[in-house]
Amino acid sequence: MQLTQYTDYSLRVLVYLGMKNDGRATITELADYYQISRNHLVKVVHNLAQQQLILTQRGKNGGMSLARPANQIKVGDVVRLTEPNFHIAECFNNVSNKCVLTPNCRLKSILYQANVAFLTILDNYTIADSIVGLTVFKPDNSHAQG
């Protein structure tokens, strides 16, 4: 299973905010740090704020911060909130499924169980778990070490 870029960026935003000692960052800061589109991040940040995972503040002293401690944000919850669906095979989409094997195939059940296990494992980890040993470097020093 491959997570969407949207989910990847969402997790990166939360990880970065978790690494920040002062807890506040701007979209421009994140875009520079990760070398990703500011426009993409605007959409991601807007959604994370709507989902009450981050707090945002406009203005001169504006920016964003985690809405709650990093150890209270489960990675599995973030993935569920940001992935559009979990159609890991054609048969998972009842609208567009054209597979002739669907009525008698056990693969869907196997893949479903694998997906449940994947999310269950992600539920065992928080954003805090993913930032142990990481620090934020200035953009000219590139990315976090880990």
Q: What is the pLDDT of residues 87-109, one digit of tens each?
A: 777 777 778 878 887 777 888 78
Q: How far apart are the first and last CA of the chain?
A: 24
Q: What is the pLDDT of residues 119-141, one digit of tens each?
A: 999 999 999 999 987 776 655 54
What is the span of the domain harbouring residue 68? 5-136
Phi/psi at 103 (5° precision) = -60, -30
Query: What region, left, alpha or beta, does residue 125 occupy, with left being phi > 0 and alpha being psi -120 to 50 degrees?
Result: beta
Least confident of 14-18, 21-25, 77-81: 21-25
Domain presence at residue 118: yes
Domain presence at residue 14: yes
Size (the chain), residues: 146
Domain presence at residue 146: no
What total of structural domains would you count in the chain? 1
pTM (global) more than 0.95: no
Report the CATH number that the domain containing residue 110 is assigned in CATH. Answer: 1.10.10.10
Domain presence at residue 141: no
Domain presence at residue 142: no
Cβ contact 120:5 at 8 Å: no
Domain presence at residue 115: yes
